[in-house]
């Protein structure tokens, strides 16, 4: 066992603070990674505050991990000491079910998430990337292209794949008009990726101050979503809308902007159910869908795509001691556009 510094919570109400956790000694197929950077996802906040219920304490969040390999098990073939290595939201799955065999490990019935899953090796729960190091089976370790800045690439492991996967699944391409709702960590990556796929991109934001950034990130138009006149201009106009909002909001206002048979996909996961007016989907046979991160193969494909196009996240690097403040800013939509923890501060 390897004693490891970490930052997490002891219960639903406690702020994040330091404590020690244990990592297993690397088994034959494991890679030990000394963590350099970890992105801060709104899911970390939902989980530590038990907003989705199901959190087991203590909890160490973090699933946008980038570091350097320090040890490898004897059967590891893809990584060696000193390599950059990344870990996202998943660290294992059953590997036998149809979803796993199809590369959709995120839809496996027995996924092992990077944090807050039962840990099959040590018992207790898995602990995430707000920590000094992590030990992961090499099949769930990703390679980040070396031409990307490591700190700015770390959030690709969740914000990148969670937006890439639905944009690909719904075949977003040139000639399509695509809406991105919410310009936070996921939203800003969705704008960059939808633009790279050739779509006409419209950002819907509650923060008028983000307009210039949205255009710089690749939006062709920015709509302030609490302005009804600007919304009405877009009725029945969109081929696809990706909703990244973390809090309660009116999805019907966006559904009415879709063309016939077009889809609004939720990746944002607010704490409470979102009311759906039947008329929003009955009219024009519209669809509402959801999407969860992406599989391991697709995550590597996304990383390689981002490397080739030189796409990474716009980040604000923070020491771990500022994490509680960062959470409060995230709740105020004051993120530009992903906090990343410099783990040397731990």
Question: Which residue stretch of 34-42, 65-73, 215-223, 224-232 sits at the interface with Zn ion (rule: CB under 5 A)?
Answer: 34-42
Among 244, 256, 263, 265, binds ligand NAP (CB under 6 A): 244
Q: Does 156 bind Zn ion (CB under 5 A)?
A: no
Q: Which does 166 bind (CB under 5 to 8 A by kind): ligand NAP, Zn ion, none?
A: none
Q: Which residue has the tokens 């106009």?
A: 237
Instruction: Return the number of the residue (135 or 293) whose C-beta is nearest ligand NAP.
Output: 293
| Residues, the chain | 346
Position with the least CB separation from ligand NAP: 184
Q: In angstroms, give the least distance from the CB of 208 to Zn ion.
A: 26
Name which of 16 and 158 has its Cβ closer to ligand NAP.
158
Helix axes 185-196, 159-169, angle to 10 degrees: 40
Q: Terminal CA-to-CA distance of the chain, rounded, Å?
A: 20
Q: How many residues bind ligand NAP (CB under 6 A)?
A: 30
Distances in Å between the alpha carbon of 103 and those of 65, 259, 291, 300? 21, 31, 15, 11
Structure token pair of residue 49: 């505050």
C-beta of residue 133 within 8 angstroms of C-beta of residue 33 = yes
Structure tokens, 42? 């709104």
- Maximum CA extent, the chain: 63
Q: Which of residues 276-295 bind ligand NAP (CB under 6 A)?
A: 291-293
43 binds Zn ion (CB under 5 A): yes
* 180 contacts ligand NAP (rule: CB under 6 A): no
Whole-angstrom distance, CA of residue 49 vs CA of residue 313: 25
Compute CA 58 distance to the chain's CA centroid, rounded to the nearest angstrom.
22
Cα 272–chain centre separation = 19
Residues 31-60 as x/- pattern, contact with ligand NAP by CB under 6 A: ----------xxx--x--------------
Query: Beta 90-92 vs 287-290: how paired, if at all?
Result: unpaired
165 lies in the binding site for Zn ion (CB under 5 A): no
For residue 1, the minimal CB distance to Zn ion (Å) is 27
Closest contact distance (angstroms) between CB of 332 and Zn ion is: 19
Residue 322, judged by CB atoms within 10 A of its CB (0-12, 13-18, 19+), counts as middle
Residue 97 C-beta: closest distance to Zn ion, Å: 3
> Which chain residues interact with ligand NAP by CB under 6 A?
41-43, 46, 158, 162, 182-187, 205-207, 210, 244-247, 249, 267-269, 291-293, 330, 333, 335
Interface residues with Zn ion (CB under 5 A) are 41, 43, 93-94, 97, 100, 108, 158
């Amino acid at each position: 066992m390897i004693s490891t510094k970490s930052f997490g919570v002891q219960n639903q109400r406690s702020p994040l603070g330091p404590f020690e956790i244990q990592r297993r000694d690397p088994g034959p197929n494991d890679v030990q990674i000394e963590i350099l950077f970890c992105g801060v996802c709104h899911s970390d906040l939902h989980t530590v505050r038990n907003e989705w219920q199901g959190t087991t304490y203590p909890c160490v969040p973090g699933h946008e991990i980038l570091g350097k390999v320090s040890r490898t098990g004897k059967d590891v073939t893809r990584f060696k000491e000193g390599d950059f290595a990344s870990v996202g939201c998943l660290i294992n799955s059953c590997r036998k079910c149809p979803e796993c065999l199809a590369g959709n490990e995120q839809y496996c019935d027995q996924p092992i998430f990077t944090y807050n899953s039962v840990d099959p090796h040590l018992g207790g729960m898995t602990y995430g990337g707000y920590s000094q190091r992590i030990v992961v089976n090499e099949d769930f370790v990703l390679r980040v292209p070396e031409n990307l800045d490591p700190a700015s690439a770390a959030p690709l492991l969740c914000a990148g794949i969670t937006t890439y996967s639905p944009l690909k699944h719904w075949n977003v391409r040139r000639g399509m008009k695509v809406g991105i709702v919410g310009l936070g960590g996921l939203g800003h990556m969705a704008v960059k990726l939808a633009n790279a796929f050739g779509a006409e991109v419209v950002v819907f934001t509650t923060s008028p101050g983000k307009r210039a950034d949205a255009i710089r990130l690749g939006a062709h138009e920015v709509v302030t979503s609490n302005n009804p006149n600007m919304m009405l201009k877009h009725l029945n106009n969109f081929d696809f809308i990706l909703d990244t909002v973390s809090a309660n909001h009116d999805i019907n206002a966006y559904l009415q902007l879709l063309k016939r048979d077009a889809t609004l996909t939720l990746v944002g996961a607010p704490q409470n159910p979102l009311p759906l007016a039947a008329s929003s989907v009955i009219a024009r046979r519209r669809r509402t869908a959801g999407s969860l991160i992406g599989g391991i193969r697709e995550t590597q494909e996304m990383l390689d795509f981002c490397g080739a196009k030189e796409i990474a996240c716009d980040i604000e690097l923070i020491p771990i001691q500022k994490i509680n403040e960062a959470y409060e800013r995230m709740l105020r939509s004051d993120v530009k556009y992903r906090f990343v923890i410099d783990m040397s501060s731990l």
